[in-house]
Structure 1
Amino acid sequence: MKEKLCEITFKPLGVKVKVPENTTIIETAVKNNLPLEGMCNGRGTCGKCLVQASGMLSQPQTDEKERLGSMLSDSWRLACQAKVLGNVEVFLTEKQQFRTISGGKNKEYIFDPLIIRILGKSGESFFLPKRAYGIAVDIGTTSIVVGLIDLNSDGKEITTSACLNPQTQYGADVITRITYAHQYAQNVLKLKELVLNGINNLISKVCNEKGVQLQEIYHITVAANNTMLHLLVGVDPFPLAVTPYEPIFVDYQEYNSTELGIAVPNAVVSLLPSLSAFVGADILAGVIAIDFHKIAVPALFIDIGTNGEIVANVNGKLIATSSAAGPALEGMNIYCGCRAEDGAISGVRIEENGQIYIVTIGSAKIKGLCGSGLVELVAELVKAGVILPTGRFAQSTNLPGLLAQRLIEHDGQPAFLLDSNSMTMLTQKDVRQVQLAKAAIAAAIDILFQRLKVELDAVEKVYIAGAFGYHLKKEALKIIGLLPSGLNSEVEFVGNTAKEGARLCMVNQAAADEIITLQNDIESLELSYAPEFMDNYVDHMNFPS
């Protein structure tokens, strides 16, 4: 019997495609590279693939009905749940510009490109031509950032560009993505193709911007977490997710760009080394970028994302771990959460009289709360007494009128209405997600310094890497307890140190050697084997009073 084909029209793009009956809307969008994002690998739990659709679609099931409620009557559907039974029209909301932080703190170095040593291995001298460039790549679970590097003069970054990691269609966190990859062999190749498409598009963009030809690219260095590195080379990362958490590889590797699938003819691709399953090359590159391993006072380095990777340094002894914070601090698994994009609330301030001031990214209408906005909102509500140390909302009778009137009921639970026009709110479940995330990171910090036999009040410097701190007030981290009590040291946001470390390892041979040495010198702590973790985790669940 011939397979029935159904036509889907995506508006306002005007794209028409034919797909087999019972294909979901999101499957069609992904296959055709259309701007539709899902975080939960099709389970219908994140609500981020919301579309308006009309035509012959499957009836919504119980979970979708509960999540969308009255929105169903306005033709809203979850693209991962709605199956096509005939001709369908789908309206995609405008895709806002993805924002991340591309620059990072850097150190001084001697310009001594690694590619000269690599291409001169045969014993013959090698000299770069007058026009020679490199690409530094940071592959994160959420975003991909590339920098175009001048390899002829001083090794400085000429321009940079970033995009959302296309793999987010199959999960917001590494565990969801690993699960998807392990289901079928072709899934690994699909995730590899997606990340390569992202990298190739960014390389093309920065080269076109500066008039650089692809054949003028000689070297590409990649810093990424271990899951992303495995998927980049087409290796199933499943061993990273099960005990004893042993990666297929952690050491420095070199590939030919064409062999790997990067659309640059005959460049050398250097994959920087990782430490363990969940402390990747991005963290080692970050340590190199700010010379963290050479700091003479007790110090802390944190990269906060879906995993909180943490390195402690006491008198040159380094110990590192990764704590599963989950995607909440990046605005995911939050009822009104969103990426750091135009329209995202990135900052919140509450005055003593209850007046609220909101800061958004760009000029678009309010879309939701990104990670920094979420943390600042929770911190301000804790400070104002709207959220109690237990995480529960206070009774409205105990609050100033302007704040009391914002306490509403949502799904039978209290919630705080931040913006009535967009109906952006913070739910009780959202507060719990923040508690779980911050407790995981704070507990890990505690344990690292316990292992080093140093009190937290002896720590003199805290460095926070990544996009998370770009719009964030430092005090908010202490108010919610992500930085545990006793840690009263100076806090510095150092930006995208992963890409900066990748650049340094490209333009300085000593840095490239140093990151390999560092891999052997840092002690790795797997928290699932730490008997004290659960007690510390529970101790940090409440907000400081």
Structure 2
Amino acid sequence: MEKARIRRGLVVKIQVQAWDQVVDYDPASGKSLYACLVEAGLPVPGDCGGKGTCGKCRFKLLEGELAAEAYQGLAGKYPLACRARPQSDLRLAFLNMERDHRILVTGDRLALTGPKRWRQASFKLDRDLLQAGADLETRLVQELDVSSFPAQVWQGLEIERNQTYRAIICDDRVLALDLQAEDARIYGLAVDIGTTTLAASLINLETGEEVSQASALNPQIQQGADVLNRISYVMTEGGRGLKQLQQAIRRAIQSLIDELCQEADCPESAVYGLSLAGNTVMTHLALGIDPRPLGQSPYLPVFRSGQQLSAKAFGLRKIPSSAQVMTLPAVSAYIGSDVVAGAYAAGFSELGKRRLLIDIGTNGEMLVQDGDRYVSCSCVAGPALEGMMISSGMKAAAGAVEECLWQDGQFDLQVIGGGKPQGLCGSGVLALIREGLRAGLISYRGRIIDPESLAPDDARRPYLKVDDQGKRSLQVASQVSLTQHDIRQVQLAKGAIRSGVEVLLEASQLEAEQIDQVLVAGQFGRHLAEASLIKTGLLPEGFAGHLSYIGNSSHSGAYLYLMDQDAAQGLEALARRIDYIELSRLDDYDRVFARASLFPKLKRK
């Protein structure tokens, strides 16, 4: 396509099919179409942050003109948004727009055993309170049994004799004052900020009842699929990039508040507390704190303890300005509050047991408890195990292969929604590798076998494809295949996670068989079959029969932190007791990783 001449001052209109919003684009800016749409806050598909390596931002051009470079590289016949620079008004449709993602919101609900953090109390400015000889603050501190009654809670209120007021109290501090009746309900949110997804629930702060749930994809994924890419984005873009990432999370949380309150028929003015659990990079970005120290040796977080600030300071405008936003405590740069929250919710504060908690996802975090000792580590597994950066990868949505089985000389595919296979979600990727190993189509080194090594009538041969460049793939449906590069991506993720497990076992002087309980946590881990985890060697054979799935335990911990005084203190204490091992500093880690990247030698069936 011939490149059009760009007129200074020209602004073109970008319209994406399935979105109502029209975005202005200035061709003279030199920005890519991807960057323009991301800056407008739109959910552009893609895993690599606009670097041109994943191919997920391909689109069909319905109207308009593009510069020629949009069609280069991975794009093929479809242009890439990260390389496209519009020359005129455009109308387009993305090829990888996915809907109905299956996101796990909550984990196991736990009982509240300690004093509740929240209460409301009413008082009347009658003659007893208005006695001479003392200020109103002193009398109300005694009347309401609180430690402080700050003057600013009176701002905007008329102070009238015999008027009844309602105080909102967190722990022993008065946060807000209004004229509502005491029986008006107050609410809070427990939020898990995952690298890929966000999950939240609306909680009645006095009863602990969960009244609604909501989830969303983390919009920061447009700047990178994992935490290292997001740190890199801030390194490249500086303060502008940090502000962009912070605003993305803030908008996402506000959208969750909107959705939760609408579902529960609850006014947003009744939301007084939020607890946020997430990895250390996510919590730094949520608070607008520069994450670059987390990505550079010695990998120091700016803070580890739980933080508390007002909704106004956080940047939420629809809920009361004095509402409290709380982040949970972390252990290190790469063992965040999500792990501490999950461990506490799973009972790790109880001594005398041998168990392992593992959150398998873009960032793999794991923690071993041996009696009263806790040791942890983390690894960047990358997004391959979640179906991202995989040639046929997709989210867990309708059309995704989530399980498969090799039997009677063919692959039987289990598809979400029961329709035609359109791609592989994370569990499907791992299941296909597991069955490929069983069928002898993939070697223990991860190599797809040469189809010429098989007899012409071998039932496995039709599944093996070789392209013009000699690259092999395993094709199980017309639109679904697993390439050699895909398998290497999974091996990198497997090597990272399995090596972390091996290091923790060695540091604890334990064998895999000595672990009484293996708790698989998180949004993604819940969907991974034990057979896939063990038979691909992602977890040791000695863990077989000891796995339990505890769902989004990070969210469960955030719920406890929001509601229970003892839990809030217990989480802080647990975080201080956990030791951390930095894998990259181990002398023989390369050897451990290389061994962990290999698949087990499975008996062919």
Which bracket does the TM-score occupy, shorter chain normalised?
over 0.9
What secondary structure, in the 3-state scheme, does the structure 1 residue paired with 2:329 have? coil
CA distance in 2, matches of 1:417, 1:434: 17
Residue 389 (structure 1) aligned with residue 398 (structure 2): no
- Give the structure 2 partner of residue 360 of structure 1: 415
Shift in Å, 1:122: 2.5
What secondary structure, in the 3-state scheme, does the structure 1 residue paired with 2:570 have? helix
Q: Conserved in 2, the CA contact under 8 Å of 1:459 and 1:489?
A: no
Shift in Å, 1:377: 0.9
Percent identity, aligned pairs only? 33
Paired positions, count: 534
Residue 213 (structure 1) aligned with residue 267 (structure 2): yes
Once superposed, what is the RMSD of the aligned Cα atoms? 2.2
The correspondence of residues 218-233 of structure 1 with structure 2, limited to 5 A, is 218-233=272-287
Shift in Å, 1:86: 2.1
CA distance in 2, matches of 1:136, 1:295: 27
The correspondence of residues 294-309 of structure 1 with structure 2, limited to 5 A, is 294=350, 296-309=352-365
* Counterpart residue type for residue 299 of structure 2: Y
The correspondence of residues 189-200 of structure 1 with structure 2, limited to 5 A, is 189-200=243-254
Please, what TM-score do these two structures have when normalized by structure 2?
Answer: 0.84
CA distance in 1, matches of 2:465, 2:417: 28
Please, what TM-score do these two structures have when normalized by structure 1?
Answer: 0.93
* Counterpart residue type for residue 271 of structure 2: I
Residue 40 (structure 1) aligned with residue 48 (structure 2): yes
CA distance in 2, matches of 1:109, 1:512: 11
Residue 458 (structure 1) aligned with residue 458 (structure 2): no
Residue 77 (structure 1) aligned with residue 79 (structure 2): yes
CA distance in 2, matches of 1:112, 1:359: 47
Shift in Å, 1:126: 6.2
What secondary structure, in the 3-state scheme, does the structure 2 residue paired with 1:45 have? coil
* Counterpart residue type for residue 68 of structure 1: A
- Give the structure 2 partner of residue 325 of structure 1: 381
Greater CA radius of gyration, 1 or 2?
A: 2
* Counterpart residue type for residue 40 of structure 1: C
* Counterpart residue type for residue 272 of structure 2: Y
Unaligned ranges ≥5, structure 1: none
What secondary structure, in the 3-state scheme, does the structure 1 residue paired with 2:252 have? helix
Shift in Å, 1:258: 1.7
Residue 258 (structure 1) aligned with residue 312 (structure 2): yes
Unaligned ranges ≥5, structure 2: 1-6, 121-143, 150-166, 171-181
**CA separation of 1:121/1:169 partners in 2, compared to 1, >3 Å: closer, same or farther?**
farther
* Counterpart residue type for residue 122 of structure 1: S
- Give the structure 2 partner of residue 16 of structure 1: 22
Q: 1:92 aligns with which of 86, 91, 94?
A: 94
- Give the structure 2 partner of residue 476 of structure 1: 532
- Give the structure 2 partner of residue 145 of structure 1: 199
Per-residue CA deviation, residues 131-159 of structure 1 (Å, 9 max, x unaligned), is 01110000011011111111222x13222
Q: Conserved in 1, the CA contact under 8 Å of 2:197 and 2:215?
A: yes
CA distance in 1, matches of 2:223, 2:504: 33
Q: 1:108 aligns with which of 106, 111, 120?
A: 111
CA distance in 1, matches of 2:492, 2:17: 39
CA distance in 1, matches of 2:391, 2:516: 37
CA distance in 2, matches of 1:2, 1:355: 60
**CA separation of 1:301/1:497 partners in 2, compared to 1, >3 Å: closer, same or farther?**
same
Residue 269 (structure 1) aligned with residue 325 (structure 2): yes
Per-residue CA deviation, residues 351-410 of structure 1 (Å, 9 max, x unaligned), is 1x1222222233565331111111111111111211111111123344884322010124
- Give the structure 1 partner of residue 229 of structure 2: 176
Shift in Å, 1:12: 4.4
**CA separation of 1:111/1:159 partners in 2, compared to 1, >3 Å: closer, same or farther?**
farther
Q: Which aligned runs of 4 or more in structure 1 are off by greater than 6 angstroms?
A: none
- Give the structure 1 partner of residue 147 of structure 2: 122
CA distance in 1, matches of 2:279, 2:560: 18
CA distance in 2, matches of 1:488, 1:362: 30
- Give the structure 2 partner of residue 418 of structure 1: 476
The correspondence of residues 338-357 of structure 1 with structure 2, limited to 5 A, is 338-351=394-407, 353-357=408-412
Per-residue CA deviation, residues 50-106 of structure 1 (Å, 9 max, x unaligned), is 111242211026xx534233xx1xxx2111111112232212355412221112124
**CA separation of 1:35/1:364 partners in 2, compared to 1, >3 Å: closer, same or farther?**
farther
CA distance in 1, matches of 2:213, 2:89: 42
Shift in Å, 1:341: 2.4
CA distance in 2, matches of 1:14, 1:382: 46
**CA separation of 1:121/1:324 partners in 2, compared to 1, >3 Å: closer, same or farther?**
farther
The correspondence of residues 440-519 of structure 1 with structure 2, limited to 5 A, is 440-519=496-575
